[in-house]
Amino acid sequence: MDNLRLILILSLCFVLILIWQAWERDYGRLRAAAATPTVASPAAEAATPGPPSAPEIPSITAPSAGPEPNPPTGGTTVKVETDTLSAEINSVGGDLARVLLRKYPVSADRRDEPFALLDTSEALTFVIQGGLLSDQAAPTHKQPYQAASHSYELAPNADTLELALRWRSADGVEVTKTYVFHRGSHLIDLRYTVRNDSATDWQGRVYGQLLRRVNKEKKGVVYTYTGAAISSPEKRYEKIAFDDMADSPLDRDITQGWAAILQHYFVAAVVPDREQPYHYYTKVLDGNRYIVGLYGPPQRVAPNATGSFAVRLYAGPKDQDVLEKIAPGLDLTVDYGALWFIAKPLFWLMQKMHAWTHNWGWSIVLLTLAVKLALYHLAATSYRSMANMKRVQPRLLALRERYANDRPRLNQAMMELYKEEKINPLGGCLPIVLQIPVFLALYWVLLESVELRQAPFIGWIKDLSAADPYFVLPLLMGITMFLQQKMNPAPPDPVQARVMQMLPFIFTVFFAFFPSGLVLYWLVNNILSIGQQWLITRSIEAAKAPV
């Protein structure tokens, strides 16, 4: 009875966690906004220092916004094809205006259509902009460049592809903006080379920014974070929600950081030189376009000399093994939440099993078996407790009838019975308590890991990260819950008994909307639990049977 009550309580706690998550998504930022003053007094404004700038170029500040959301008019498109990317760069600004991920289809049913991470279409505006800032002539993301060709393709025998865009001022300053694409990678090196053929020093800084338009769309049942994030030595992964940018604009100097905009499974990031301090900022344009960016320290290029600036761009999947090699903390964009310390080992173990099975579904089955073996002795204690409770249930019901109107005497008689039979009524709690964080951690692993995106299992299960289209796994899971319930002692209280009888049906409906990989885990766990419980119950009944 206590075991079943605990299951009900923990199940309700899980539902409350999901409700709280949805509330934070919809209303949490409103609360934060109300607590943050949006208008400062003149005195406060005067006392607050502005962003630092070098004395010799005082007017260099964060770049202004371009003419998005539509592509700049008058420019031409330069197309780039590699083994991983199909990219488009606009000659106006040299912006990375479109990126298709060739190895990541839009959906399991549209495998010939690559997923568009960056684009300037009506449905999506998400671009990476950049340029140079200076009091003198310099190309920002609004200036036109010249390209030698309108189409580039990675050669079969080449590991890199370079695309050079050129800009020249009237006074003799020439800038070459070079994109370097790599085989088998979504990382792009971006280099600005300044050739100063003028008669005076040229001074400027490099900047890079991500711009995304956010449409007010209806949110789905399962919530995943779409927004900005930055990193600093103090906090390796810091979310900046789009709604928070208007109330608390980012204005901070950071060394060893990066800036990104992430969404479900994918991320675009600007990664600057780790040894130099960069200034990070956010902007909101027209109420639905959001910018997070950074600009570096000033550099001087003497007459008849050359200088260079460099940043790295990433536009691709949230692959933890790849991201952690690009920059510290970038792998944290795979956000496993508060239970990351459980989720990461679970994912690592699944990766090892996948290397053997080559099927993420069977990896989940083996992971379930591994978790079950790790908790075997604790679970055995739980099932022995439930078997003993079921064995003495007729005596418990008799005590309830005898002391129906004397609660203190009933509790005393029950404790005496437990002591006589050497039963711990709470003996089955610990394994269930341990299962809940594992279940929640696996939920985030299945939800956040791009490796499981569109991963097939068997037959009708084409995508373990999506709900079962025919509800077969939820129905089987509900049946196993029903069988487990029949193997346990029923609560003496009629109301509790009716509630427990409803749980398999409630959970069947509830799990119908969950990722099929998570339902698979729970189904296999139930089957293993039924087998273990049946063996233990049978052994206890045989030991207590009269000879």
Can you give the pLDDT at residue 18? Answer: 55
Same domain, 451 and 434: yes
Strand partners, 127: 211
Specify if 3 maps to a domain.
no
Same domain assignment for residues 329 and 391: no
- As a whole number of Å, the end-to-end CA separation of the chain is 30
- For residue 441, being part of any structural domain is answered with yes
Query: Which residue range(s) make up the domain with 191?
Result: 36-61+77-335
The answer on 286 and 401 residing in a single domain is no
The pair of structure tokens assigned to 460 is 């009708």
Please check whether residues 387 and 486 belong to one and the same domain. Answer: yes
Say whether both 245 and 264 belong to one domain.
Answer: yes
Return all residues near 415 (Cβ < 8 A) that are at least 6 apart: none
Helices (H) and strands (E) in the chain, counts: 14, 20
pLDDT at site 409: 83
The answer on 86 and 158 residing in a single domain is yes
CATH of residue 238? 2.70.98.90
Domain identity same for 318 and 346: no
Q: Are residues 190 and 289 in the same domain?
A: yes
The last residue of one of the domains, among 275, 306, 335, is 335
Question: Based on the domain organization, do 309 and 384 belong to the same domain?
Answer: no
For residue 10, tell me if it sits in a domain.
no
Residue with tokens 């770049």: 63
Which pLDDT score is estimated for 436? 77
State which residues of the chain have pLDDT below 70: 1-74, 216-222, 379, 381-383, 386-387, 390, 424-432, 434, 489-493, 496, 540-547
Contacts of 398 (CB under 8 A, 6+ apart): none
Q: What is the pLDDT of residue 432?
A: 66
- Regarding whether 431 and 326 lie in a shared domain, the answer is no
Length of the chain: 547
Asked if residue 204 belongs to a domain, the reply is yes
The pLDDT of residue 540 is 66
pLDDT 10s digits, 291-326 = 999 999 999 999 999 999 999 999 999 999 999 999
Tell whether 121 and 263 lie within a shared domain.
yes
Give the end of a domain, one of 309, 335, 361.
335
Per the structure, the count of domains in the chain is: 2
531 lies in some domain: yes
Burial-class residue 181 by CB neighbours within 10 Å (0-12, 13-18, 19+): buried
In a domain, 18, yes or no: no
Q: Are residues 331 and 415 in the same domain?
A: no
What pLDDT score was predicted for residue 391?
Answer: 73
| Pairing mode of beta strands 289-295, 299-301 | unpaired
